[in-house]
Amino acid sequence: MFLLTSLKSQTKVAAWRVVVRTLKVAVVGAGGGIGQPLSLLLRRCPGIDELALHDLTEMKGIAADLSHVSQTGNVVGFTGEQELEPAVSGADVVVVAAGMPRLPGMQRDHLMAANGNVAVKVATAVSNASPGALLAFITNPVNMIVPTAAEVLRAHGTFDPRRLFGITTLDVVRSKKFIGDSMNISPDEVNIPVIGGHAGITILPLISQCQPRYRRDLQEIQKLTNRIQEAGTEVVNAKAGKGSATLSMAYAAATFVDSLLRAIGGQEELVECAFVASELTDAPFFASPLNLGKDGIKRYMPLPQMSDYEKEALEKLLPILRQNADEGVNFARTFLSGQSRAPVPAALPLTTN
């Protein structure tokens, strides 16, 4: 039995290696609560030839530790702001977990003052050292961080809307888990699009489109929608001052990065929801199902059908996303205009979540 299983898995790995070229993935904020488990999970993704781990703190130990995992590929540690560009240099995928987490009572928006500079610095480094990379942010507030990064990339002439993502996979992961449990089926069997953004009511799980059908009355659907929207806060409160979701976020981000890598490797028909520059609604950045390809977004799937309840919820969230985008863009512009007059202030840390 063991032999059979192990032969089967070797065949699977061998078949996958035929189509995958070797890839470099950089994790920024790799020493933190999300970055470490994310980096560990990424060691299981086939085809990663170099896993570059960056943080402000010394990364040698974590890199050495992860390099002993019996998988192919090298793990290299990079430390400090001066090593950010070498870390992302030539990367196919850059995933960013750096930043401060929420404390009880905070909204994700409150993190912009602390985390906005992460978007600026990483987008600058990517523009300089790996302009062709797929760049994916976990850092909150995602609804503002992605527009900030887009503006910085634009200023450097390297913005390609197909290559910039805010990771919203945790909203999908939570929806699958809560619905799976409620229907008494495996979460793996649940398929559900989650659109909008990644904060409070901007998170809109389209329960009407859930497969298999989630047959409940409106009151229960509203209750479940609310739980998904507030699930991050549920973890923040449970951690009682010690941060926000790290392990489930790492799981979700690794799932998303794995899909990006598979798409780069030529796997077709991959669809993931993510927060991206979009023309599907009148919000300039919007999360929706995307068909992924080797250059990032291959095709924006049309907006899924919606119930009346979901249509109303969409109307309520769009003005918030528009305002978040304006704030993100303004943050970048303020930073960039300051930069043209004076050197980058040293007091803007690239913090660790």
**Binding site residues, ligand LMR, CB under 6 A:** 102, 108, 140, 170, 198, 232, 235-236, 244-245, 249
Least separation in angstroms between CB 198 and ligand LMR: 6
Q: Which is nearer to ligand LMR, 27 or 236 (CB)?
A: 236
Backbone Cα Rg of the chain = 20
Angle in degrees, 0-180, between the axes of helices 169-183 and 218-229, rounded to the nearest 10 = 140
State how far the Cα of 290 lies from the Cα of 175, in Å rounded to an integer. 18
Question: Per the residue annotation, which of 68, 110, 156, 198 is the catalytic one?
Answer: 198
Choice between 110 and 162, CB closer to ligand LMR: 110
Q: How far is the CB of 246 from ligand LMR (least distance, A)?
A: 9
324 is annotated as contributing to ligand binding: no
Q: Is 277 annotated as a binding residue?
A: no
Answer for the pair 176, 185: CB distance below 8 angstroms, yes or no: no
Binding residue per annotation — 249? Answer: yes
On whether 201 is known to bind a ligand per the annotation, the reply is: no
- For the chain, the residue count is 353
Q: Which amino acid is at 95?
A: V
Whole-number minimum distance, CB 249 to ligand LMR, in Å? 6
Q: Please, are residues 201 and 313 in contact by the beta-carbon 8 Å criterion?
A: yes
Does residue 31 have a known ligand-binding role? yes
Residue with Cβ nearer ligand LMR (110 or 216)? 110
d(CA 1, CA 319): 57
d(CA 15, CA 353): 37
Whether 198 is catalytic: yes
CB 65 within 8 A of CB 40: no
Closest to ligand LMR by CB, 245 vs 274, is 245
CA–CA dist 224, 307 (Å, integer): 15
In the complex, the smallest distance separating the C-beta of residue 248 from ligand LMR, rounded to whole angstroms, is: 7
Catalytic residues: 198
Which residues are known binding-site members for substrate?
A: 102, 108, 140, 174
Which residues are known binding-site members for NAD(+)?
A: 29-35, 55, 115, 138-140, 249
